[in-house]
Structure 1
């Protein structure tokens, strides 16, 4: 199984065997473009070239006939517009981090459209999602709208762009997880919503066909033979699937620059009343699957700040030893709201604070408080998720983790302590790529529906009953809010 993992800063390819073990991998970064403050763009053709190059490198010396299928996972919400005839992008891709449509989102909210958008899509009006990016292109280029209505142009998230190129223009498709991040798909029906298309003034002819995550996405002949494309999912949903979280109440947290927490809610979409998003989980077969999602803006990035801003450490991996050099944080609490606070608080104008400093405070206390802040923020998210899910009888029994920062034993143990449930770290941290490979493997008949990543370590909660380490965090958080 070949997994293509197209991320925000690099493209990767990983070859897995039938046991889910990594056989080979390749990675290639690509350029980030920042034409104005708050704008983030990618060269879509460079993304395609880098992804194709890594696929060929991972398959070096492998007969294409041995590859059962390709699974694709991708950065979500980033969007591309291109000509169908030539396959040429009309402009750079606009990235999920881009904030250029903030005023458009504020206007739509002021006009009273937020309730419709949330009810139909499960999302909130925010530049993060794809619809306002597409709408801006069409408003700025009326000739593109005319060409779109004539069927000459195509638009899609990165998965659609790569599928189009891999199949040499034969397939224009996306899967339900990526489509559910556009503000244009009806979360419940799994189809493009006509009222949302009218709201954003986006012609239906521009958009790809929506398919399940494990489905026939065509074949590619660009890798030495004809290989089927059998699985597609956005990166966070692919990680959820790769972790084996396919039942209501199962959850995973990806610890990267930020933290992405998803809880599977089964065959029902839960409308969050606690500041979370409702989204599609990876779909195998005809039965839709759903999840609640929340994100922490500053997760592992707080460790980068300790390294680059405070110069408390020389390399990120040094933070654990520094934090362990003191028995506790000495009353120091770190609220890393460098770019505001995300779910469940949604306070974009909040700013970071380090509280509880005394003459005895050291860099070690601040480092320990920084790591604790990652766990505290994730616990706030899980509280919100459990509040939304408990009405349906869904309860969290354990948390599965992946991402670079989950290698930190101190952080994982502290996370288990503040949650009061076990934290399970897998042996193979490539949950996202393996999730895409598993979806393709299901479609190809190589793997059954069971599975998930083998657990390398289980961190059990270790606090004494009645001890609440989050009391000081809540107090500090209220002062920042």
Structure 2
């Protein structure tokens, strides 16, 4: 009797995407069409370490453990699926100092750390915003490295890198950074795609102390010890990390002048992706990079879901307030909530600012304060959006876990913008999906960058008028508080 061997079925390949955020590390697997695969997800929570005086540090050991645990879990759940590539996305700005042995020297600074504020004036004297796309601010390396050196004069600063750069160096032995992450440091010349000399000089750095610049389509492979730990990833291309703002635009399909991305995750932002020469930067905004060909024009806030979580913890809210929030008329609580608990980014770039609630009375309730805070974030995002060079028919594509988790916030945001919001329900998050799509394209796979639409949220014109007035009131209060603080100083 003759036996006929059955062909062995090989499952289609997947892309693993790691997302390093301010609240932890998430990982997911995507198929070659950019669709998330159920059951192939993992998450480890890690929090920034906040302390008085502007401290917002990244606990490096905890992030390393989280990232490697997430990869352990994904590796175990892969089964026989081959891995096409491993992609990584991360919060845009982080500063890891390495000593002469390439070992990290704490503290690791996040974008939210404002201790470098006294160094901003010296950086501002460079007048480098048009060259780097980044305004002088405490979140960027020129100011942060100056502060780090002054605060730790006896520690060894041999090289600097971002968190995902360090992770990949640990796993592969190569210290590379993408144009995307480099642009978020405030030290990349957006025209030449080289490190910006005057910014390096201001930070006291040389090109030899910087990571090697490359694009996201470069690849590395695991060193032997890590290939032994993750044998299914041995020889698989690991791509340089890309900033989560860039991957959010890609993942939500907000590419080109017809679509702008609005994201409310832990923090929040409005971004427009444009090809061609470096675009002019409107007042109060920045210009980063997605890759060698694509610019990202927009603005970001330090607040988003982190503010909502802080309010929940502070007021010890044990139930959802969505029903209460939905029942409120726009800006009808008598409160003006200025976000900025950790300083402000766009459009003010004021690391000394702090959050303010004006108009409290005995009738004020926690729900009123939460609604006012959500409106404050929406108005700030609207202020950014109105500065972008967009036409009246631009589509705002909205994503982010905090936004999708709320029924009230999408309507508040649409009303504040005065534009429809195309909501996207991307379970793993637009940033993780965007990282996977970039890795697929780097490997020659033609994937669609069309939005994954869920529903359209239409603005109410009368509500938009109310928020226009609220935005103007917020601007006046912001200006008055800043003038008062500067007069005291």
TM bin, normalised by shorter chain, reads: 0.7 to 0.9
- Would you say 1:349 and 2:356 are equivalent positions? no
Report how many residues are paired.
452
- In structure 1, the residue matched to 2:113 is 98
Structure-2 change in CA distance of 1:83 and 1:277 (3 Å): same
In the alignment, the residues of structure 1 paired with residue 49 and residue 249 of structure 2 have an alpha-carbon distance, to the nearest angstrom, of 30
- In structure 2, the residue matched to 1:405 is 402
Structure-2 change in CA distance of 1:143 and 1:40 (3 Å): closer
Measured after TM superposition, the shift of residue 467 of structure 1 is: 4.8
What pairs up with 1:373-392 in 2 under 5 angstroms? 373-385=376-388, 389=389
Gaps of 5+ in 1: 149-153
What pairs up with 1:36-115 in 2 under 5 angstroms? 37-63=53-79, 66-83=82-99, 85=101, 87-109=102-124, 112-113=125-126, 115=127
- In structure 2, the residue matched to 1:190 is 193
In the alignment, the residues of structure 2 paired with residue 135 and residue 358 of structure 1 have an alpha-carbon distance, to the nearest angstrom, of 44
In the alignment, the residues of structure 2 paired with residue 215 and residue 323 of structure 1 have an alpha-carbon distance, to the nearest angstrom, of 47
What pairs up with 1:147-162 in 2 under 5 angstroms? 148=158, 154-162=159-167
Of 267, 288, 297, which aligns to 2:276? 267
Mean Cα deviation higher: 269-278 or 184-193: 269-278
- In structure 1, the residue matched to 2:26 is 12
SS at match of 1:28: strand
Measured after TM superposition, the shift of residue 134 of structure 1 is: 3.2
Structure-2 change in CA distance of 1:184 and 1:363 (3 Å): closer
In the alignment, the residues of structure 2 paired with residue 274 and residue 3 of structure 1 have an alpha-carbon distance, to the nearest angstrom, of 34
Preserved contact between residue 416 and residue 461 of structure 1 (Cα < 8 Å): yes
SS at match of 1:180: helix
Preserved contact between residue 427 and residue 453 of structure 1 (Cα < 8 Å): no
- In structure 1, the residue matched to 2:473 is 475
Mean Cα deviation higher: 269-278 or 294-303: 294-303
Gaps of 5+ in 2: 1-14, 480-489
Q: Provide Cα deviations, 1:269-291, integer angstroms capped at 9, x if missing partner.
A: 233242111111x22xxx52111
- In structure 1, the residue matched to 2:484 is none
In the alignment, the residues of structure 2 paired with residue 92 and residue 54 of structure 1 have an alpha-carbon distance, to the nearest angstrom, of 24
In the alignment, the residues of structure 2 paired with residue 329 and residue 382 of structure 1 have an alpha-carbon distance, to the nearest angstrom, of 20
Mean Cα deviation higher: 321-330 or 241-250: 321-330
SS at match of 2:270: strand
Please give the root-mean-square deviation of Cα atoms over the aligned residues, in Å: 2.9
In the alignment, the residues of structure 2 paired with residue 155 and residue 367 of structure 1 have an alpha-carbon distance, to the nearest angstrom, of 39
Of 6, 9, 16, which aligns to 1:2? 16
Mean Cα deviation higher: 195-204 or 321-330: 321-330
- Would you say 1:133 and 2:137 are equivalent positions? no
What pairs up with 1:298-447 in 2 under 5 angstroms? 298-310=303-315, 313-315=317-319, 318-330=320-332, 332-339=334-341, 340-347=343-350, 348-349=352-353, 351-355=355-359, 364-385=367-388, 389=389, 397-407=394-404, 408-429=406-427, 430-445=429-444, 447=445
Structure-2 change in CA distance of 1:60 and 1:242 (3 Å): same
Structure-2 change in CA distance of 1:54 and 1:423 (3 Å): same
Structure-2 change in CA distance of 1:358 and 1:128 (3 Å): closer
Preserved contact between residue 332 and residue 366 of structure 1 (Cα < 8 Å): no
Question: Given the two structures, how large is their TM-score scaled by the length of structure 2?
Answer: 0.83
